[in-house]
Amino acid sequence: MKKVGVAILGLGVVGGGTYQILTEHREFYRKTQDVDIVVESVLEINRERALALGVPEEKIASNIAEVISNPDVNIVVEVIGGIGVAREFVLAALNAGKTVVTSNKELFCKYSHELERAAKRQNVGLYFEASCVGGVPIIRTLLDGVQANHITSMMGIINGTTNYILTKMSADGVGYEEVVKEAQRLGYAEADPTADVEGYDAAYKLSILSSLAFHTKVPFAKVYREGITGIAKEDISYGKEFGYVLKLLAIGKNSEKGIEVRVHPTFIKKEHPLASVNDSFNAVYLTGDAVDDVMLYGRGAGALPTGSAIVSDIIYASTHSENKYSTFKNNASAEKDVKFVQDFESAYYIRLTVEDRPGVLAKLSSVFGKYGISIVEMIQKSAGEDGKVPLILITHTTKELSIRNAVNKINALDGVGQVDSVIRVVS
């Protein structure tokens, strides 16, 4: 039976979960996979944490050199996070001829070209299933499940923190700030939630997933990004009146016009499969030219779900002798002949506060007409004490730049009011 030695860099939440799975399931993998996977080394600053998890003291390494010089280590698992020390350690492991498994979406998004070059030089593996959507096997699906297809689009809820926040805002009718504090108290959100709530985490993942799906490098800089910090509970409530649910969506499309990649709050019809993905769950909805629609759903984060993805990569690397790399030129930037769509098309939800007097709607209609924007539905609420009324519109599909220009024009109109919210809509 083949024996494979593993080293784990970092025993935090995910690293601890990975260690637990590998040790508890060792005999199971011997029986079902015909491979004996042994944790030979861990690198953890907090030795007490490692000992508490059951790591033998002699297997706790003091530095990365000790790990990569260990002849019993075949696979190095990086779960440190960030791009400083993690990048240094991963490159050191690859250059030492060790296969690497990582859950680090920021590192892989920004430096996969550098890591893959090192892996190719040493003819070792580089695996990253756990970098995107936790325990949901989206990367293996793209690489080994739907490769018969031209993937034309993907749409997903790929950040559990923001999905939890929006779910609670919708269910309980409370504001953003209150829900964020609750999410932090429960451990769903970090003390500094910026990476999640401003859409960076989802954008890193979309960069990785769209590169794989569309077989061309899609750099992080090409992803349009907008977070959920500006979402008001009123918008969620008004959206419900139109039959919509609000989600932070990652959207990728590949058409004759070019590649379109964007992360932003989006209203989707309550009947759409993604609308029922709540709390910290994630899902990705793929469309291929042969398979049509496929949706993968599950836990997007957590010690054991993410650990499951890491161990899946370890088993795959242990049972496959041939190393696979990108199906495209994996450089720091996109290929010169690849077009990216900036002025994308969408329907839009627009909430305005306007003066309750004759002529206001005519002025608004004039602006919308100038930019070719037509309205599908409209709700006008009762006037407040200040004599102003909320006006909520849903547009037909139109251009992003047309909406931006119209909003700027409306905000400059004397005595009309202001645009309070613009949210894209997927029917």
- Measuring CA to CA, how many Å separate 397 from each of 344, 373, 376, 403? 10, 8, 10, 10
Helix axes of 160-172 and 176-186: crossing angle, nearest 10 degrees? 130
Residue whose C-alpha is closest to residue 248's, from 326, 162, 315? 162
Tokens coding 78:
């990086």
Task: Give yes or no for a contact between 132 and 158, defined as CB atoms under 8 angstroms apart.
Answer: yes
Q: How far apart are the first and last CA of the chain?
A: 53
Q: In DSSP terms, which residues pair with 418 in a beta bridge?
A: 353
Q: What kind and span of H or E run contains 420?
A: strand 417-426
Q: What kind and span of H or E run contains 299?
A: strand 292-299
How far is 214 from 149, CA to CA, in rounded Å? 10
Residue with tokens 């799906």: 213
- Measuring CA to CA, how many Å separate 71 from each of 4, 57, 317? 11, 18, 17
How far is 311 from 221, CA to CA, in rounded Å? 31
Q: Return the active site residues.
A: 205
Residue whose C-alpha is closest to residue 230's, from 280, 264, 186, 275? 264
Phi then psi dihedrals of residue 113, to 5 deg: -65, -40
- Give helix then strand counts, H and E, for the chain: 15, 17
